[in-house]
Amino acid sequence: MQPHELKASALPVDAEGQPRPAPCAPELEPPFEVLGEIARSTLVYSSPHSGAVYPASLIAASRLDAHTLRRSEDAYVDELFSGVLDTGACLLKAHFPRAFLDLNREPYELDPRMFDGRLPAFANTRSMRVAGGLGTIARVVGEAQEIYAGRLPVEEAMARIETLYKPFHRQLRSLMRRSREAFGLAVLIDCHSMPSSIGRGGRPEDLIKADIVLGDRYGTSCNPLIVDLVQKELTRLGYCVQRNKPYAGGFITEHYGHPSAGWHALQIEINRGIYLDERSLERSVGFEGLQEDLGIMAVALADLVDEMGNSRALAAE
């Protein structure tokens, strides 16, 4: 084990001290892990969509091949942000793929047409994300390609939520709370990648112009000093950076971003075209340079949030 690494499998209980149930697929043990030292820094990074362990049950139930299933994966994003560990921050990464369970959704954002059996009355079955096939358990990947050959038992959906979704979010809340208690504030950087085109035909007008999109829920989820610093550093390093368009932040950014309470959340979306061959899903020549630049940005961000934490401590004295 590397000095910065703390395996989730080494923990007999989850972040709340509760027994961690075995995942619904045996391949997913551990279902996630925390890299880095907990509560050493104000900063917590998460990579909820870079998981690449595809359960045999998903492959068997799918009408798609394994490569096509990966179209929704934020491939290698956890590796791109590995340099943040050198700043003392920790990184929470899921091992299971987004196509199996999407952690950046409400816990019960589910399409009733996908399941045999009745969903709980509290399930959100009418959201725009459900309508688009991208609920907590996705119906489609890539260019609206249907994942499943048939309906899933509703018990399967509940098992994924209980054994994967809820433990991940308990861990994330715990990491944020420990940083908040230790430093007076907690800053979550939620790490993602985006396709280089938002259209299906690859037309020039559908190409995403930005290399990186920062999402702060239109200024509501994160102190603007943090967002300004990240944008300034990445722009200085040569990247085209936009805010909140086309991605303003999902459930995680909205749910964990409460600046008035000392909880800040910023989503970073990286254009896959600058580090990945989107057809083969192999790293491209830009991968190592981007990885290095994200590490440089992380150092500048760590310095800023340290100053912010010190200022809060001085003000409280």
What would the pLDDT profile of 73-96 be if each residue is shown by its tens digit?
999 999 999 999 999 999 999 999
Nearby residues of 199 by Cβ (< 8 Å), 6 or more positions away: 205, 206
Interval 230-257: pLDDT, tens: 999 999 999 999 999 999 999 999 999 9
Output the domain CATH number for residue 112.
3.40.630.40
Residue 105 · residue 251 · CB < 8 Å? yes
Residue type, 136: T
Q: Mean of the per-residue pLDDT values for the chain? A: 90
Query: pTM for this one?
Result: 0.91
The number of folded domains in the chain is: 1
Percentage of the chain modeled with pLDDT above 70: 89
Contact 275, 212 (CB under 8 A): no
- Residue 107: give the domain boundaries: 5-316
Task: Kindly state the DSSP code that residue 4 receives in the 8-state scheme.
Answer: T
DSSP state of 48: T
pLDDT tens string 95-149? 999 999 999 999 999 999 999 999 999 999 999 999 999 999 999 998 889 999 9
State how far the Cα of 312 lies from the Cα of 317, in Å rounded to an integer. Answer: 9
Q: Is 302 in a helix, a strand, or coil?
A: helix
Report the percentage of the chain scoring pLDDT > 90: 82
Residue 311 pLDDT more than 90?
A: no
Give the 3-state DSSP-derived string for 79-103, with helices as H, strands as E and coil as C: HHCHHHHHHCCEEEEECCCCCCCCC
